[in-house]
Amino acid sequence: MNEELIVGIDRLNNPSLNKSTAFTLEERDRYKLHGLLPTAVTTQDIQLTRVLANMHRQESNIARYIFLNSLQSRNERLFFRLVSENIKKMLPIIYTPTVGEACQQFAHIYQQQKGLTLSAQYRGRIKEVLQNWPQQDVRMIVVTDGERILGLGDLGANGMGIPIGKLSLYTACAGIHPKNCMPVMLDVGTNNVGLREDPLYLGSPQKRLEGEDYFALVDEFVQAVQEIFPKALIQFEDFLTPNAYALLEKYRHAVLCFNDDIQGTAAMALAGVLASCRITGHAFKDLRLMFLGAGSAATGIGDLIKQALIAEGLSESEALQRLWYVDEHGLICRERDDLMPHNLPYAHDQPMLSFIGAINHFKPHVLIGATGIGGTFNHKVVKSLCKHNEHPVMLALSNPTSRSECTAEQAYEWSEGNVIFASGSPFPPVNIDGRHFIPGQGNNVYIFPGVGLGVLASDASIVTDEMFLIAAKTLAKQVSKADLLHGTIYPDLNNILDISLKIAEQVAAYVFEQGLNRSPQPADIKKVLQNMMYNPTY
């Protein structure tokens, strides 16, 4: 429909067209808005001031999340301008860590549908249901089945908060237009008994669909997307580890897709490790790395680091000897008979060791946590690391904050300020013995928006691991000397739009170089990227 024909209350109720009190007198004439708004004509700047003040009046982050969710439903451009210009303040509210609490309470704080729900009852009709989506030019889809939401486990249909949040970040951090974005929840039931018994729960109150029936439903969705939205990039998000790997391996060479938990997390972590070498002086190819946790995130990081080590001249076997995993049962080693397929390449010919035993035996330079269990980097762990390294690197990546392997304050205090620390959730600066440390936040928002923008701008046919290696190296280069002086191994989030643009340029260049583009290469890809980026001002 011609947007100019949308007038009166319909225009005010359209979040992508609504300017509220910023409609000029001429626009109020044109769109029949007189009397439907207060008399004064204000600017978007004044609206921002009002919105910020009202947000700060909220007494908790979950209240702020609800407030911002409501704003997005009323005035899309004001919401995205607020977020993009205040990304450091807004990211912890619209995404981690608050999104975890929002997902837990999703059915209780529900206001308005923002995505598409595909339940098992639609088997055989997925294509028909996809066509109910109001936008025709969908380019970016984030989909989850809610089984492994952050470190919180099976939240069923409550997991819809994750695709909604991720797509908000695609717009705020890479300028992908909201009309091109579609959040999708595959509601295949839940094994969370508490949710099934909750009278307010909005998902299917059945046990999870599993096995062939589950994969058939996902396949029907993927194939329907190819027909209805053939230019769309599918991002798989927060699937249980075995399913995450199975789906990625099935579709990565056939359709435009990636898994952010596996590939995006890997690039983010690799970037932090690369940047840390500028503080420690260690050569990347000489590093020894240990992981606590052996799920999709941890093994995804290992896979990409292995690829980066091979690019530095190591053989595959030499690279694997640099990477060691510990899970709740101890060292991932060949004598164990309980390992999953994605763990097998990292099973070393070593006797079983405990976590502390493995640290003392292998003396890692870098310790990466992806456990989903809070407090696992305890005092003894930090002291053991420091015994073997002057400046050990610790990445406590589990989200939300309650699941972080340790806090920044604990890491710096227990190491007497010698550790180089970053975490998945944000922590405030810490002062130790007159030194000021600013912990970096290892957030995938540094990676997936830029990769997505580059893939869409170049009209790539598939997404490859090489794109995430490129993104990691590009991100690491954006860490300034001033950042490093404070022990920070990720760049300032306030520069996220510029960071995403740089990553997108490099990813697009790789697509054209490898001939992965489906459309002719433009003369100036940077100009194409800049023209694509959504402008929320009015």
Q: How far apart are CA 243 and CA 252, in angstroms?
A: 14
Which residue in the list 31, 95, 122, 490 is annotated as catalytic?
95
Cβ-contact 88, 154 below 8 angstroms: no
Is residue 423 helix, strand or coil? strand
- Torsion 357-362-367-368 (CA) sign: negative
Measure the CA angle with vertex 187, ends 101 and 174; round to 5°: 60
Catalytic choice (19, 114, 166, 502): 166
Rg of the chain, C-alpha, whole Å: 23
Contact 119, 209 (CB under 8 A): no
Tokens of 270: 């690799």
Q: Which pair of structure tokens corresponds to residue 127?
A: 């294509």
Instruction: For residue 533, give the nearest of 80, 178, 181, 177 by alpha carbon.
Output: 177
Q: Is 207 a residue of the active site?
A: no
Q: Is 317 exposed, middle or buried (0-12, 13-18, 19+ CB in 10 A)?
A: exposed
DSSP, res 446: G
- Give residue 208's Cα distance to chain centre: 24
3-state percent helix, strand, coil for the chain, nearest multiple of 5? 50, 10, 40
- 140-151: string of b/e by CB count within 10 Å (b at 16+)? bbbbbbbbbbbb
Q: Which two tokens stand for residue 258?
A: 């990636």
Sign of the CA dihedral with 190 first, then 238, 301, and 517 last: positive
Q: In the annotation, is 170 catalytic?
A: no
Q: What's the CA gap between 133 and 537, in Å, rounded?
A: 26
Task: List the catalytic residues.
Answer: 95, 166
